[in-house]
């Protein structure tokens, strides 16, 4: 079943969901992990309805969802904007005492609320955390970015630094993107330097893209071009 599940996962990740399902059906029995592998395949390829019906089928087959299953389904709720279902899952997670089970489930909750447009709820979940890792911070900052709450996004980055968490390349991609949407060129240049110098993070193509975008919008095409020509890798 382990090997079979790995096969399900492989097909699912390649987007060959028919094959994944066939491999899944050939398994002698289905445990929660093989169900999760199939469900995440559907989630990752934006087949939310399939994921939902799989989740129900799992229940029907008498397999209890674990925390991983919930993380996947929270993502579905977020993509669909299914607020009510999201609340239900949140309540169930609390009931099972899984909020303490690791930050994966909490950042998934933050992400879900943000994707549903509920930044207050996202913030509430986040604030209850006693220990916050980089991904938790990133999820909240990305939520503010998504909802156009630029000031909140910047503020949370400051808080993050104050509280001694280390921002990573994802944090700065998000922040540079906020600058890009707001046309905040100087701010972006500053953050870019902070990223390089204070945090010694190697910029990726995504970081450079934000910069180029900003220069382009500011009409400074020459500077944008200069960035592209100096790219440490091939432009796309």
Q: Which of residues 207-236 bind RNA (CB under 7 A)?
A: 209-210, 213, 236
Under rule CB under 7 A, residue 6 binds RNA: yes
How far is residue 43's CA from residue 162's CA, in Å, rounded to a whole number? 35
How far is residue 57's CA from residue 79's CA, in Å, rounded to a whole number? 20
Name which position in 173, 184, 188, 192 contacts RNA (CB under 7 A).
173
Q: Which of residues 139-158 bind RNA (CB under 7 A)?
A: 139, 141-142
Least separation, in Å, of the C-beta of 82 and RNA?
16
Under rule CB under 7 A, residue 107 binds RNA: yes
Name which position in 47, 96, 133, 189 contacts RNA (CB under 7 A).
133
- 33 to 62: interface string for RNA, x by CB under 7 A: xx-xx--x----------------------
How far is residue 149's CA from residue 72's CA, in Å, rounded to a whole number? 26
Give first-to-last CA distance, the chain, whole Å. Answer: 41
Contacts with RNA: how many residues (CB under 7 A)? Answer: 49
Q: Determine if residue 200 is left, alpha or beta; phi over 0 gives left, psi from -120 to 50 gives alpha, anything else beta.
A: left
Under rule CB under 7 A, residue 2 binds RNA: yes
How far is residue 10's CA from residue 7's CA, in Å, rounded to a whole number? 5
């Amino acid at each position: 079943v382990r090997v079979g599940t790995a096969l399900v996962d492989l097909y699912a990740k390649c987007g060959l969901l028919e094959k994944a399902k066939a491999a899944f059906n050939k398994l002698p029995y289905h445990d929660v992990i093989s169900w999760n592998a199939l469900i995440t395949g559907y989630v990752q390829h934006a087949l939310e309805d399939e994921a939902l019906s799989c989740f129900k089928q799992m229940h029907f087959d008498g397999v209890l969802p674990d925390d991983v299953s919930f993380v996947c389904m929270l993502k579905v709720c977020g993509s669909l904007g299914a607020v009510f279902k999201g609340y239900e899952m949140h309540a169930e997670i609390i009931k099972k005492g899984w909020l303490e089970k690791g930050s994966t489930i909490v950042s998934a909750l933050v992400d879900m609320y943000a994707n549903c447009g509920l930044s207050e709820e996202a913030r509430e979940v986040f604030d209850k955390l006693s220990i916050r890792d980089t991904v938790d911070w990133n999820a909240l900052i990305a939520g503010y970015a998504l909802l156009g709450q630029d000031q909140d996004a910047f503020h949370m980055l400051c808080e993050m630094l104050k509280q001694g968490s280390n921002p990573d390349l994802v944090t700065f991609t998000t922040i540079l993107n906020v600058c890009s949407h707001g046309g905040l060129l100087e701010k972006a240049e500053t953050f870019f330097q902070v990223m390089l110098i204070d945090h010694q993070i190697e910029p990726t193509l995504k970081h450079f893209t934000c910069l180029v975008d900003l220069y382009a919008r500011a009409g400074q095409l020459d500077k944008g071009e200069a960035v592209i020509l100096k790219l440490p890798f091939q432009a796309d």
